[in-house]
Amino acid sequence: MKQNENLIEAIDSMVSANPAMWDEKEYRAHDAIAASDLRLLAKSYGHYKHKQDYPQDYSYSAALRAGTIVHACVLEPERFEQEFVVPPEINKRTKSGKEEWDKWEEEHKDVFAITQDELDKALILRDHVLRNPKAAEMFTGGVAEVPLFWTEEHHGEEWRLKGRADYLVAFGDTLLVVDLKTTQSAEYQAFQRSVVNWDYALQAAHYRDGVAKLFPDYDVHFVWVAVEKAPPMGCNIFSASEEIYAHGRKLKLKGMENYLAGEGDPEGVHLPYSTDIKSMELPRWVSRSHS
C-alpha cells in the first residue's frame, strides 16, 4: 500500500538521527518521560520516585516476558522466527549438561531462549488474533515497535516525552496506533474495566497526541487489539473515544503536576501516600445493600 510506503519512509527519516533507539534497552534507558512514568506520577510522586530509586523492585516479570514473546510473534513474525529459539533439551544437573548448556548460551548470545510451551502458546495466540479479519488487516504493511520522541508544553514547562508504539499503520490519511493487549477477557465491559484499572486512557492520549505531533499530515487514532490469554482466546478490537482521550489527558496533566511538585521539593519524604490518619468508612455499595 502506497500510504504505508510513505509512512515507512517518514519513520526511517525520523529515527535516522538516533538509530540505536530501535533497540528496546536503548529506548528504555533514554531519560524522556514515558506513559508508564506518567501513570505512576498520576498516583503520586512517591510511586514514581520509588521506581527511580529501587528499579530492582520492578524486575522483568513472567507477565512481561509473556507479553514480549507474544508481541514479537504477532507483530514481528520474521524476527520472532530468527531470534526466539527453543534450546535443545539439556540436563543441566550434570557436569556435562552444564558444560553443554554454557556452550549453547555462548553460541546463541543474540537469541531469546523460550520454552516449547511458550512457543506453542504464542503461535496459538497469533492464530487467534489473525483470525479476526480487521486485526489481520491492521497488522499488515505497517511498522512494529516504533520508538517515538517529542516535546509538549504544559504548566509553563517543555516536556521531553517518549513512547514505543506497538504498531503504526496507515489507511489513506488515517494513521492508526495499534496496541496489542493480552487480557483475561476481551469482552467489552471486562476490557472497559481494564482501561480504567490500568490507566489505558492515559496511554491512549499520550500516544495519540505524540504521533499526531510527529505525523501532522495524518488523522491519528488509537486502537486496542485485545486477545484473551485463555480459551476461547477471543480477539476484540476497540477504538479510543474522545472521552477516553480527555480522561487520559487529565491523568497525564495530574502526573506532570505531581512531578513538578516532587522535583521542586528535594528534601521531601516523597511517600506514595500522605502521613495523615484517615477515617475509614464503608463503601457506598455496602451501605446501600444493607439499607
114-135 pLDDT per residue, tens: 999 999 999 999 999 999 999 9
Whether 12 has a pLDDT exceeding 70, the answer reads yes
CA nearest 77: which of 167, 182, 9? 167
User: Do 147 and 260 fall within a single domain?
Assistant: yes
From 111, 131, 151, give the residue that closes a domain: 131
Please return the burial class of 285, using the count of CB atoms within 10 Å of its CB with bins 0-12, 13-18 and 19+. Answer: exposed
- Domain assignment present for residue 150? The answer is yes
In a shared domain, residues 68 and 211: no
Which pLDDT tens digit goes with each residue over 221-235? 999 999 999 999 999
Exposed / middle / buried, residue 213 (Cβ in 10 Å: 0-12, 13-18, 19+): middle
pLDDT of residue 290: 60
122 occurs within a structural domain: yes
For residue 52, tell me if it sits in a domain: no
pLDDT tens by residue, 241-273:
999 999 999 999 999 999 999 999 988 889 999
If asked whether residues 116 and 154 sit together in one domain, one would say no
Check whether residue 167 and residue 260 sit in a common domain.
Answer: yes
Looking at the structure, tell me whether residues 115 and 253 fall in a common domain.
no
177: β partners: 168, 222
Please check whether residue 184 is in contact with residue 224, taking contact to mean a CB–CB distance below 8 angstroms: no
Are residues 244 and 148 part of one domain?
yes
Whether residue 212 is found in the same domain as residue 84? no
- Residues 109 and 191 both lie in one domain: no
C-alpha cell at 64: 512481561
Query: ω before 87 within 30° of 0 (cis)?
Result: no
Q: Is the dihedral of CA 39, 220, 145, 11 positive or negative?
A: negative
> Has residue 289 been placed in a domain?
no
Contact 272, 262 (CB under 8 A): no
Is residue 136, in this structure, part of any structural domain at all?
Answer: no
State which of 73, 103, 131 marks the end of a domain: 131
Find the domain containing 243 and state its range. 1-43+141-264
- Same domain (yes/no): 119, 156: no
282 located within any domain: no
Give how far the C-alpha of residue 177 lies from the chain's centroid of Cα atoms, to the nearest Å. Answer: 12
Q: Within this chain, do residues 159 and 207 fall inside the same structural domain, yes or no? A: yes
Q: What is the pLDDT of residues 151-175, one digit of tens each?
A: 999 999 999 999 999 999 999 999 9
Alpha helices in the chain (DSSP H): 2-15, 24-29, 35-43, 45-53, 62-75, 77-83, 95-107, 116-131, 133-138, 188-197, 200-214, 242-263, 284-289
Residues 97 and 241 in one domain: no
- C-beta contacts of 283-291 below 8 A and 24+ residues apart: none
User: Span 141-145, mean pLDDT?
Assistant: 96
Count: domains in the chain: 2
Q: Which of 259, 158, 263, 244 is nearest to 206 (CA)?
A: 244
**Pair (236, 164) in one structural domain:** yes
In a domain, 147, yes or no: yes
Residue 186 lies in a domain: yes
